[in-house]
């Protein structure tokens, strides 16, 4: 009679890690290691934010301007000349916008200051005569506390911090300009150099990922610019019709704020309503609020789906989470960069998880328009 074989049981280390709890422990340790790596990476990037943020902004701008540079090259212009024309054109537009804001503020500053003083007096009268139990002595104490803070050591420290922030901004802007120029001029060469260590299937996927990143970033910037321009024109026209001071600069602020989805245009519109409240009274401020709400609804329900398309849209919850995380990690710059970086990450994931790179979105060309080099599938 045959004796049935007994199943060998793992012993020692194999018995410790071979059961369900052991496998769960291994997976937990792997997850903890990945989280630690991500934490160290984010910490290192934040320590180098003066370098990382300008480079990211330069890459986004280069992706948006690259089609114009390629258009000039196809017309027969040398690469350096085409890059210089696009680069100087961008600087001229930005310089013109800043100059227009400065002159508009200077021309209407006296009127706004007088209106602000009158509005503050009206607000104080409302507080004193309104239903809130606030006395003139309490208002005076609050004013004295603000003045004392402004003239204290903490106030001077805050002023020094502001000066340091301005210096960092100028340094980052200079670095961004330099990086942008070289990306526009030698973007394809830089990208091909970065792909030198890779070959076969991995190289094909990386080329597809690079192409898709350029498409997403360029489409996002161009689409957001159109949406922001519509927001600024509509709200600016409403401010002009209502005779709100600083209508031009406020429209520019709305345009810039629209690059932060969902909350940017709303916050900029709230600032416009506040100026209208101070300068023109509560009725005009309510009208401005109504215009801002209408424009925000138009932007979310019509403009973004029409201009940007479904491929560049993210769920509102994802956008809010990305903006929150970006703001916590890197402030205003993080809020601006969070959504396009999230869209890029999702595009790369879709390319990288495709069964075959030929089936992934994109055309397989490296950034800069050069055709992909043939490579065997690994």
Per-residue pLDDT of 140-192, as tens digits, reads 666 656 555 555 555 455 555 656 777 777 888 888 888 888 888 888 888 88
pLDDT level of residue 69 (50, 70, 90 thresholds): confident
pLDDT digits (tens, 9 = 90+) for 32-54: 999 999 889 888 887 888 888 88
Mean pLDDT, rounded, of the chain = 75
pLDDT for the residue numbered 83: 82
Tell me the domain boundaries of the chain: 202-362
Residue 316: closest CA among 293, 337, 339, 332: 339
pLDDT of 94 higher than 80: no
Question: DSSP string of 20-31?
Answer: HHHHHHHHHHHH
- Specify the pTM: 0.66
CA 213 to CA 220: how far, in whole Å? 10
Rounded to an integer, the average pLDDT of 42-68 is 84
If one compares 368 and 300, the residue with the highest pLDDT of the two is 300
Question: 113: Cβ–Cβ under 8 A, 6 or more apart, which residues?
Answer: none
pLDDT for the residue numbered 87: 80
pLDDT for the residue numbered 131: 58
175 burial (CB, 10 Å; 0-12 / 13-18 / 19+) is middle
pLDDT for the residue numbered 333: 78
CA 11 to CA 213: how far, in whole Å? 50
- % of residues, the chain, pLDDT over 90: 2
Which sign does the torsion angle of CA 86, 91, 94, 100 carry? negative
Rounded to an integer, the average pLDDT of 72-99 is 81
pLDDT for the residue numbered 49: 81
pLDDT for the residue numbered 36: 93
pLDDT for the residue numbered 332: 77
pLDDT of 376 higher than 50: no
Question: 347: Cβ–Cβ under 8 A, 6 or more apart, which residues?
Answer: 209, 212, 213, 215, 216, 361
pLDDT of 276 higher than 50: yes
pLDDT level of residue 373 (50, 70, 90 thresholds): very low
Count the Cβ atoms, other than its own, within 10 Å of residue 373: 12
If one compares 169 and 125, the residue with the highest pLDDT of the two is 169
pLDDT for the residue numbered 33: 94
pLDDT of 15 higher than 50: yes
pLDDT for the residue numbered 310: 55
pLDDT digits (tens, 9 = 90+) for 196-248: 888 888 888 888 888 888 888 888 888 888 888 888 888 889 888 988 877 87
pLDDT for the residue numbered 367: 44
């Amino acid at each position: 009679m045959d004796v049935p074989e007994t199943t060998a049981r793992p012993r020692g280390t194999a018995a410790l890690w071979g059961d369900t709890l052991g496998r769960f422990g291994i997976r937990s340790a792997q997850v903890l290691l990945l989280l630690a790596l991500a934490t160290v990476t984010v910490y290192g990037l934040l320590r180098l934010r003066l370098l990382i943020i300008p480079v990211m902004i330069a890459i986004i701008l280069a992706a948006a301007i690259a089609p114009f540079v390629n258009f000039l090259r196809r017309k027969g212009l040398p690469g350096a000349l085409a890059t210089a024309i696009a680069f100087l054109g961008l600087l001229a537009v930005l310089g013109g916008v800043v100059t227009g804001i400065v002159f508009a503020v200077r021309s209407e500053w006296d009127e706004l200051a007088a209106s602000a003083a009158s509005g503050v007096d009206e607000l104080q009268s409302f507080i004193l005569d309104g239903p809130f139990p606030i006395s003139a002595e309490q208002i005076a104490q609050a004013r004295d506390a603000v003045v004392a803070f402004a003239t204290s050591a903490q106030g001077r420290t805050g002023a020094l911090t502001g000066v340091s922030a301005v210096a960092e901004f100028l340094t980052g802007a200079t670095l961004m300009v330099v990086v942008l120029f070289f990306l526009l001029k030698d973007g394809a060469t830089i990208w091909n150099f970065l792909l030198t260590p890779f070959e076969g299937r991995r190289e094909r996927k990386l080329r597809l990922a690079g192409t898709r990143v350029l498409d997403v970033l360029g489409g996002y910037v161009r689409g957001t610019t159109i949406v922001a321009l519509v927001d600024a024109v509509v709200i600016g026209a409403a401010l002009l019709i209502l005779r709100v001071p600083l209508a031009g600069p406020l429209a520019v602020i709305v345009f810039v704020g629209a690059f932060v989805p969902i909350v940017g245009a709303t916050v900029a519109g709230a600032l416009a309503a506040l100026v209208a409240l101070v300068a023109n009274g509560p009725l005009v401020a309510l009208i401005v609020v109504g215009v801002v709400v209408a424009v925000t609804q138009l932007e979310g329900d019509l403009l973004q789906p029409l201009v940007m398309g479904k491929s560049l849209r993210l769920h509102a919850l994802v956008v809010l989470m990305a903006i929150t995380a970006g703001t916590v990690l890197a402030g205003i710059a993080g809020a601006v960069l969070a959504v396009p970086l999230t869209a890029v990450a999702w595009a790369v994931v879709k390319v990288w998880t495709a069964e075959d790179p030929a089936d992934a979105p994109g055309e397989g060309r490296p950034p800069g328009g050069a055709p992909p080099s043939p490579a065997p599938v690994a």
